[in-house]
Structure 1
Amino acid sequence: MLAFILRSLWRELASGELRVLLLGLIIGVGAFTSVALFNERVHQAMTHQAGELLAADLLVQSSSSLPEAWKQSALGMGLQLAETTSFRSMTLAGERLQMAEVKAVTRGYPLRGRLLVAETSGHSEQPRQTPPERGSVWLERQLLDRLGLKPGDDIQLGESRFRISGLIIEEPDRGGSLFSIAPRLMMNPLDLPATGLLTVGSRAEYRLLLAGDADALEVFRGWIKPRLQAGQRLLGPRDSRRELTSALERAERFLGLASLVSLLLAAVAIAMSANRYARRHLDNTALLRCLGASRQLITRIFTGQLLLLGLGGSLIGLLFGYLVQHLLAALLAGLFIQQLPPPTLQPLLLGLLIGLVTLIGFALPPLLALRNTPPLRVLRREMPLPRLSRLAIYGPALVVLTGLLAWQAADWQLTLLVSLGMLATLSLLTLVAWLMTRMLQRVSPSGGQPWRLGLANIARHPEVSIVQLVAVGLGMMVVLLLILIRTDLLDAWRATLPFEAPNHFLINVQADQLVPLEKFFRQKNHSIPVIYPMVRGRLHSLNGTPVDAESYSQPRAKQLIQREFNLSWMERMPTSNRLVSGHWWNRTDERGWSVEKGIARALGIQLGDRLAFEIAGQTVSALVTSLRTVAWDSFEVNFFVIAPPGQLDVTQASYITAFFLPPGEEAFLARLITHFSNITDIDVGALMQRVRSIIDRVILSVQFVSLFTLLAGLVVLLAAVQSSLDERIREAAILRTLGAMKGQIRTAIVTEFMVLGAIAGLLAALGATLIAALLADQLFGLSYQGNLWIWPVSLISGMLLMGASGVLGVRSVLQKPPLQQIL
């Protein structure tokens, strides 16, 4: 049996019977695998880049010194280590005092990213992985200016004096703590005891930085978690900043969506090719039935062929995808900060699984229907392929494929939205195609006009026309959707972080400084930023029940309960926020809380719940009146919890604002800090550049991924044209026998396919626009304005592609004698 299956499979491959199906499988698996491999490598690189904001791959943060046993265990697991100790202290230069963020670093810091230090103001910066020499310190320019010092001068810290030996130009994990309240001073940890600043009860933050192999990091993560105590946290790249987390989440969704649409196109192409293959084997199957072959034997033959074809085609597709992603990585090597990490085996195994599941799920059902072919077809060749319920044969495949899509995209919401959009588009295409064939039944082919014959052909083969229109429309819709994602949605994402987005935060602004600060901005011809009040409070109770960190299982929820919230009040909602439920206050005497949706989900807070915050020894209680989403990567001033004006008048507030400082305006900032000595400036420009870098790399990745998806779309188009090729060739040969000219046949075919292509193009544009708008609103949190150019482009593309494919598909009938084609 196996030998017979192999011989028949080889014979049909050699004769071209299975070439379209094999091509669809190879392109589908190759496109998906190349996308999955490249996306995985890009994601690993972006996560590694995100680790620069921690200066490590993983870190343990503690309010007390960390046990030596933890460090030895990490070393035993093959991890690299570095340590930092941070605290705030006053520095002294002559009669000038200034608060500083002191940070003692060990050799090896940073493990990720760059620490750039200029030895003197006149020398270029150099990367360093060793601490300052004993007796010397490095300062940020801001601290140097405030104290009126220069490199080489002395500065007093605690009971010790140090020489300023360098300027800190770039510190990788500086952006990971937005609300640090003073400029940086970096020192050697061996000098700490002499300062006398760290004693029993001193407030300091101890960090153990780790880097190394991902598996070793996971082993350490599992080992350390049960040993963490109160005041200790385990942080990864995603925990460093909410702005970066938001960017990475969007990146994953964009790249996951690209993989998703490639796989959908592969499934459509395979289903179309398999249906044509089954129809072409009706006669052979009927002959086998006449010779005594049982249904079970026919099932084994075609199932065996399909499995062998699936295994071979999937392996070729895997090799193709692996080579393509290497070529792509080589082309983009210079655009990434570091070399892309090597791929893992998981995408290859998943690609093989998807190839087999897709082929079996979408190609096996029509082949199984062949076993019901009646032997009578040997005499009556007009008998069609036995019918099976499409829901019954494709339903399980769709369920399995949807599960694989959700697993690969790691996002059920993304998969659900795209799947529902595809289903809606499929239903609309089917309905329109059915209505079109019904309407064209009134068109008579008589009159000698070839275009009438082309329109009549659509109605004469209603089922074939419906299948072609649906397949082409669905394929075009997916390609257009990816184009919209690559252009409109990614541009909208980039627009959330424009060039003039705020890159400096001012904190510790006092109430009596509001008017002078606005006056200062006005006098210096700078736009006056919006200034927000801020008080700190701890969540006290939820619906009258005191909150307890131990009652929450999620680490993030525990951390939120243990920390103090930055609370604010305002009349109008910030522009970077969007209301998702409830209402914003519309009365000056209204009380309530507006809570960010993510934190509400983490803490189990719902609309209408009563929250009580403890602020300066007093409790403020109100109902949750609205939930908001916050664009954290906009770098605007944002808050988890907001109240209406007047509700938080229980303590004196400080104020915070953010503004854009153009390059070359450093003198303005220096004058501002000198004039308002208590105000602290936070420069987040470096962090913004990192987020922009992630956005640019995602956009570049999606642009290249779209090439693979376009290739898969062309296979769908080829399969759709091939699905009715046999009938078209036979009809064209009969027309030539009856005296029709080549030009008339060509015109009829072009008319038929161009009409199908035009309708498919318009409906594809509609479906792609609606799905893109849905994804932008519900998934990516972006504003989608739509794009008018997609309608004419889709219409013309559909007409040209289908028209050209139809002519190319039957070109042989215009070159060979009709008798040869019929026989």
Structure 2
Amino acid sequence: MMFTMAWRMLRRELQAGELRLLFVALLIAVAAVSAVGFLADRVGRALELEARQMLGADLVVVADQPLSDAFVEEAHRLGLRTARTMIFPSMVFADGRAQLVEIKAVSSEYPLRGQLRTAPGLDAADVAVDGGPAAKTAWGDERLFSSLDLKPSMPLGVGQLHLPVTALLTREPDRSLNLFSVAPRLLMHIDDVPASGLIQFGARVRYRLLLAGPDQALADWRGWVETRLDRGQRLEGIENARPEIRNALDKAQRFLGLATLLTVILSAIAVALAARRYMQRHLDACAVLRCLGTTQGRLLRLHALSFLIMALLAAVLGALLGFAAHFVLVSAMAGLVTADLPLPGAGPALEGALVAGVLLFGFAMPPLLQLARVPTLRVLRRELGPPAPLAVIGYVVGFLLLCGLIVRAAGDLRLGGLAVAGFSAALALFWLLAWLSVRLAGRLRGGAGFGWRQGLATLARHGTANTLKIVALGIGLMALLLLGVTRLELVDAWQKSVPVDAPNRFVINIQPEQRQAVADWLAARQIAAELAPMVRARLLRINDRAVSAADFPDDDRAQRLVEREFNLSWRAELPTGNEVVDGRWFSGKPGEASVEVGLAQTLGVTLGDRLVFSVAGMEKNVTVTSLRKLDWDSMRVNFFVLTPPGVLDDAPASYITSFHLPAEKRAAAGQMVEAFPNLTVIDIDAILAQIQSVVGQVVGAVQFVFLFTLAAGAVVLYAAFLSAIDERRFELAVMRALGARREQLRAALLVELAAIGGLAGLIAALGAAGVGQLLARQVFQIEPAFSLTSPLLAAAGCAVATTFAGWLGMRRLLGVPPLEALRQGA
């Protein structure tokens, strides 16, 4: 019986429009949360379902140096199957054109899990194949075929070899997700690597040993090998398959999750406003029901059940809308996620339902408590009963639940706490700016016409309500401006900060015996370049303290730095683009070293510290005598650690250089690779273009999520307008009764609405510009120019949009006869 009554009441209220806005607010919040949730769930399921395929094995050892044969021997003793792979960048060439590729050399047993798929050429159907390419052949992926216009069996220059490309690689199991890959893939047989001459001293190679077999044998081998792993070696199993992908996706999910919380916060405000208006418009009806014998408890249960049904409807429809919207996110990130994603589970829909429940319980229940406590005497005196004591508690509980959602979306208590503090500070700052703007605007009436004076006077008279409108609309608009206009301005400022003749090519793997030949080759083509020596070393100790990743439990960057090998070099003079910020440049004393200031801060290195490096089995002791600031935007060759000549001269070294290659000399890159096949020429322009494409896709996905934020802001704005309609109806009726013409009142309303939109747009644009300036200086280290164009355009555009939307909602007030409005307000 109660359910039937609640359903009928809900249907009647939705048809009449009393609860329509509250329902839309819930719908937007659920759709935003579930859309991001469905995307994350599908990618997460792909990682779980294809964990072994993503490894290409059951267990993998990854290292930056060749692995001991003892690892393979012990695996075979335990009955495990093994395979080897090597991954490294290099240049390949065909018909005079060169291309940077990521070469993956595999043994005959690869892959141990999953299957490779190949096609005879572009636009041809692919098939599953057993094993990788045969010796003396190679396979290329679609990007390689397209960039070099390859044809089947066409020879490809790979170092000192010419390998026919016999197939187009369409799928490799341990490359299912293609995140931030900037080079095409070339697959070749591992036995061909020595003859290619590509692996020289200084080459960066990832060595992988793949294992597969019974779980017990794997466990025994893992226990045996864990005590024998050196620095730079790690194990990957199905529980942590492709950690770099998981980390990247976790960060993206957290960012999108925090972005959706802006939508949830604004939706919470809209729910609170809509519920309060619903309460105000139904006090009389509830008072009549109380007079007819309905108890407070029954009245509360009736409305609570009605709202619960509405929340369930919003959860279901919002989940469906989010499911449809998540395909847009998948499409926007198509270049990042290329795996066949399985269908998502019900988790995101349940999470959306949880959000609807939090918003309903925390921000709609307090006004319902007032409805249940309405005094029967209101039928005669039409007085609002005192606020229910539990109402304030309800709002506090709602705020705490909202904070819980933020922490959950952040995935970390510390990050969540910072997000809560950041959101709270941003809301407080926006509120202060909006309130001051409203007060200031109210004083700018001057001697203009009636519409101008009355519009600004009304803006100031309803300062609290109008401040809320400005804040809600400003937050949503700021998010879009920050990712839209400001992003483009930051990219433009960064591009302008890079010199026109900045190096756009890096060359690595230059061997000592090639140094003079390469220098002469470049000089003959009038290409200015300095060949710098480079020594690979691993940091062992800082003073007498051994260094390990465990020393930096909360700093991922520091852990990566101490686990990898450093690139050291030597110089007699301070390189161009380097500035000593602490200490002094080399004075000629033995064992001096200069450290980049950012690296020193990350690892806790200070002046006077002794650093011990392992260089090709030798220990090198140096003392930090200076800290340097580098101009990374110069695109020159830079090193974290420099020593004077004589310290590293006896260490095996390779050479590296960078230079600017004009467009008319672009063919020189291919000619260099043909002359020196072991060299790797890195096209910075191409890599930056690829990274910008990746960033553009991510930003496009986030901007799509922020459309929900803007929609929620519009709902808050409309809810605030509706909450003021009854009061404005009475005010306008009084003014019309006193002689004001309809045209004058229309002008006043339009001025008020335009002022709200203009102030919201101006505050949003200034906020986006401020955050953009902070990001530019603190993150990108550039000095962007501040322009008034964006704030003015945003203010004008928002003023027009707000005026139009607000006028649609409030124009009917001018059509109400004055006498009827006065009677309704009496």
- Tell me, in whole angstroms, the C-alpha distance in 1 between the residues paired with 2:792 and 2:539: 55
Match of 2:275 in 1: 274
Return closer, same or farther for 1:247/1:815 CA change in 2, 3 Å cut-off: same
Match of 1:513 in 2: 515
Any residues of structure 2 matched to 1:482-561 within 5 Å, and which?
482-484=483-485, 487-488=488-489, 502=504, 504-510=506-512, 513=515, 517-526=518-527, 528-529=528-529, 531-547=531-547
Match of 1:799 in 2: 799
SS in structure 1 at match of 2:475 = helix
Answer yes or no: is 1:716 the counterpart of 2:716: yes
Match of 1:63 in 2: 68
Is this contact kept in 1: 2:510–2:654, CA < 8 A? yes
Q: Report which stretch shifted further, 334-343 or 402-411.
A: 334-343
Return closer, same or farther for 1:696/1:352 CA change in 2, 3 Å cut-off: same
- Tell me, in whole angstroms, the C-alpha distance in 2 between the residues paired with 1:390 and 1:522: 80
What amino acid sits opposite 2:312 in the alignment?
L
C-alpha offsets along residues 87-146 of structure 1, whole Å, 9 cap, x if unaligned? 9xxxxxxxxxxxxx994523665969988999xxxxx999995667877555999xxxxx
Match of 2:768 in 1: 768
C-alpha offsets along residues 475-526 of structure 1, whole Å, 9 cap, x if unaligned? 4333433434664567789999999985653224539936x64553243143
- Tell me, in whole angstroms, the C-alpha distance in 1 between the residues paired with 2:598 and 2:569: 16
SS in structure 2 at match of 1:360 = helix
Cα RMSD after superposing both structures = 6.1
Any residues of structure 2 matched to 1:155-234 within 5 Å, and which?
186-187=188-189, 207-208=208-209, 228-229=225-226, 230-231=228-229, 233-234=234-235
Match of 2:656 in 1: 656
Q: Report which stretch shifted further, 717-726 or 21-30.
A: 717-726
SS in structure 1 at match of 2:484 = helix
1:314 CA displacement: 1.7
Return closer, same or farther for 1:372/1:599 CA change in 2, 3 Å cut-off: farther
C-alpha offsets along residues 337-376 of structure 1, whole Å, 9 cap, x if unaligned? 5655533433323222222213322333344455565555
1:317 CA displacement: 0.8
Is this contact kept in 2: 1:509–1:654, CA < 8 A? yes
C-alpha offsets along residues 757-782 of structure 1, whole Å, 9 cap, x if unaligned? 22222222222222344455667888
Return closer, same or farther for 1:436/1:682 CA change in 2, 3 Å cut-off: closer
1:750 CA displacement: 1.1
C-alpha offsets along residues 302-329 of structure 1, whole Å, 9 cap, x if unaligned? 4444333222212221111112334665
Gaps of 5+ in 1: 76-80, 88-100, 119-123, 142-149, 177-182, 194-203
Match of 1:466 in 2: 467
Answer yes or no: is 1:733 the counterpart of 2:733: yes
- Tell me, in whole angstroms, the C-alpha distance in 1 between the residues paired with 2:284 and 2:784: 53
SS in structure 2 at match of 1:455 = helix
Is this contact kept in 2: 1:262–1:712, CA < 8 A? yes
Is this contact kept in 2: 1:298–1:371, CA < 8 A? yes
Any residues of structure 2 matched to 1:283-682 within 5 Å, and which?
283-287=284-288, 299-326=300-327, 329=330, 337=338, 340-370=341-371, 373=374, 377-381=378-382, 383=384, 386=387, 394-410=395-411, 419-435=420-436, 449-484=450-485, 487-488=488-489, 502=504, 504-510=506-512, 513=515, 517-526=518-527, 528-529=528-529, 531-547=531-547, 564-568=565-569, 583=581, 587-589=585-587, 594=595, 605=604, 610-616=609-615, 617-622=618-623, 641-643=640-642, 645=644, 648-649=647-648, 651-652=650-651, 653-659=653-659, 668-669=668-669, 672=672, 680-681=679-680
What amino acid sits opposite 1:283 in the alignment?
D
- Tell me, in whole angstroms, the C-alpha distance in 2 between the residues paired with 1:517 and 1:460: 77
Is this contact kept in 2: 1:507–1:657, CA < 8 A? no
Any residues of structure 2 matched to 1:218-257 within 5 Å, and which?
228-229=225-226, 230-231=228-229, 233-235=234-236, 255-256=256-257
Is this contact kept in 2: 1:471–1:720, CA < 8 A? no
What amino acid sits opposite 1:63 in the alignment?
S
What amino acid sits opposite 1:744 in the alignment?
Q
Return closer, same or farther for 1:50/1:574 CA change in 2, 3 Å cut-off: farther
What amino acid sits opposite 2:538 in the alignment?
R
Answer yes or no: is 1:261 the counterpart of 2:262: yes
SS in structure 2 at match of 1:801 = helix
Return closer, same or farther for 1:598/1:36 CA change in 2, 3 Å cut-off: farther
1:704 CA displacement: 3.6
SS in structure 2 at match of 1:281 = helix
C-alpha offsets along residues 454-491 of structure 1, whole Å, 9 cap, x if unaligned? 22323333333333333333343334334346645677
What amino acid sits opposite 2:541 in the alignment?
S
Q: Report which stretch shifted further, 287-296 or 358-367.
A: 287-296
C-alpha offsets along residues 160-206 of structure 1, whole Å, 9 cap, x if unaligned? xx9966589989899x9xxxxxx9994477x999xxxxxxxxxx987
SS in structure 2 at match of 1:750 = helix
Is this contact kept in 2: 1:606–1:624, CA < 8 A? no
1:735 CA displacement: 3.4
Q: Report which stretch shifted further, 375-384 or 326-335.
A: 326-335
1:807 CA displacement: 2.2
Is this contact kept in 1: 2:29–2:263, CA < 8 A? yes
What amino acid sits opposite 2:760 in the alignment?
A
1:56 CA displacement: 8.6
Any residues of structure 2 matched to 1:111-122 within 5 Å, and which?
none
- Tell me, in whole angstroms, the C-alpha distance in 1 between the residues paired with 2:575 and 2:371: 64
Return closer, same or farther for 1:136/1:466 CA change in 2, 3 Å cut-off: closer
- Tell me, in whole angstroms, the C-alpha distance in 1 between the residues paired with 2:583 and 2:504: 27
1:695 CA displacement: 2.9
Return closer, same or farther for 1:726/1:701 CA change in 2, 3 Å cut-off: same
Match of 2:744 in 1: 744
Aligned residues: 758
